[in-house]
Amino acid sequence: MAALNVLMIGTGEYTTGFVGTGGSASDKKVGVVGLTLFDLRRRGKVDQLGMVGVNGTKFPAIREHLHKNITQFYNGLDTSFQSFPGDDQKDPDAYRAAIDQLKPGDAITIFTPDPSHFPIALYAIERGIHVLVTKPAVKLLAHHQELIARARERKVFVFVEHHKRFDPVYSDARFRAQKLGDFNYYYSYMAQPKFQLDTFKAWAGKESDISYYLNSHHVDICDSMVQQLGYVPVKVDATASKGVATSQGCVEETEDTISLLVTWVKQSDPTKRGIAVYTASWTAPNKSGVHTSQNFHYLASGGEIRVDQSRRGYDVADDSVGQVQWVNPFYMRYAPDEDGNFQGSTGYGYISIEKFVDNCRALNAGTTTLDDLDAKGLPTLKNTIATTAILEAGRRSIDEAREIKIVIEDGVWKLE
């Protein structure tokens, strides 16, 4: 199969690890998307690479950052890419000119602020370009359904980067849940430390919230577990706390922690209902020892599953850091192999992107179809519509101080 040409849209922490002062303070110091695609190019699965930002003046520093921390660290790994806009330009619509240089069957990745996902994805889809978009796919249910329709028309693959589906523990839990009977209760918690708000201050509370950013992980995991059992969400009631993020310099509208209470109903037997509580926060302690605290509890008629991925039995004490840290090499393994090459292909952050690349290549080669990809249970647009419905309903519930209903009529999802 032919190698895939990929344009990376967004130059920030998740793509490059560069946040303006060099390496990120998070656990993604050299990024995820760029490093993975550079390695996939080394392995022959990817060919031409490009990168798009708004501020082209950042590219010299980004290239220096990638050369120092990737090329020189991983046995000369090639980190070259074509960039848009020019190094002396700023252009919020640079992605258009960059996408226009692609050909049908090429692909883009979108790791940009949440409100920009829809227009960028739609622009690419209309030109026959495959799309990997970070979660949340979009903020509005109507936009999600429009993308489904347009992608079908153009026969392109749109993959939502729900990497937690490929965490081996979460994946195993999803498999085991199918044998535990009817869904009854789910609780999840996901949080990141307050210093993360320094990175997100430009958009936190203005363009999106912590539920879209973090609850999206576990809402999707829960949906992927109970959707196979025939359950759909029917109502959402949300609440939020405030006061800490604003003290960190965020705008007054910024919530600290958001909880969504969701009721699920089994379509074949509406007397069977399940409830779920999804909680997300970006005001966890700075010195908690983990970058992302994450756990869930799943209860069914025939058993239960408990997963705590905050501390995985692996801790590191480093005097230069000043605290014990619980690290997560299962997500991205940054240690080089014995030859000095990057060896992170077993990490679920890498696997998520590689699955997108592999399936785009297969679709281009005619060895798979969009229906096949939906049937595999991958996080396609069709398979993630409930997540968007729940996240938008949660936002509306907080803003309107009421419960929001989710209704499905003739295959069309609506919020009431």
Is the pLDDT confidence value at 22 over 60?
Answer: no
Considering the chain, what is the average pLDDT of its residues? Answer: 94
- Looking at residue 199, what is its pLDDT? 76
Among the ranges given (8-12, 61-65, 74-78, 320-324), the one the predictor scored with the smallest mean pLDDT: 320-324
Q: Contact 135/158 with Cβ under 8 angstroms?
A: no
- Sign of the C-alpha dihedral, residues 112, 309, 190, 264? positive
- Looking at residue 25, what is its pLDDT? 52
pLDDT in tens, 249-305: 889 999 999 999 999 999 999 999 999 999 999 998 888 888 889 999 999 999 999
- Looking at residue 322, what is its pLDDT? 81
pLDDT in tens, 352-405: 999 999 999 999 999 999 999 999 999 999 999 999 999 999 999 999 999 999
Greater model confidence, 106 or 199: 106
pLDDT in tens, 295-317: 999 999 999 999 998 888 888 89
**The two three-digit tokens of residue 265, written as one number:** 């109903």
HSE toward the beta carbon, residue 318, CA cutoff 13 A: 8
Mean pLDDT of 2-27: 82
Mean pLDDT of 30-35: 95
- Looking at residue 156, what is its pLDDT? 98
- Looking at residue 290, what is its pLDDT? 84
Cis peptide bond N-terminal to 136, omega within 30: yes
- Looking at residue 152, what is its pLDDT? 97
Name which of 254, 322, 284 is nearest 194 in CA terms. 284
Q: Contact 304/298 with Cβ under 8 angstroms?
A: yes
pLDDT in tens, 217-248: 999 999 999 999 999 999 999 999 999 999 88
* Confidence band of 21 (pLDDT split at 50, 70, 90): low
CA–CA gap between residue 9 and residue 117 (Å, rounded): 10
Longest dimension (CA), the chain: 62
Listing DSSP states for 13-79 in one string gives HHHHSB-SSSB-SSS-TT-SHHHHHHHHHHTTSEEEEEEE-SBGGGHHHHHHHHIIIIITTTTT---
Q: Contact 373/189 with Cβ under 8 angstroms?
A: no
Is the pLDDT confidence value at 28 over 70?
Answer: no
For residue 206, give every residue at least 6 positions away whose Cβ sits within 8 Å of its Cβ, in sequence order, or none: 251, 253
pLDDT in tens, 186-207: 999 999 999 888 878 888 888 8
Name which of 32, 43, 19, 5 is nearest 128 in CA terms. 5
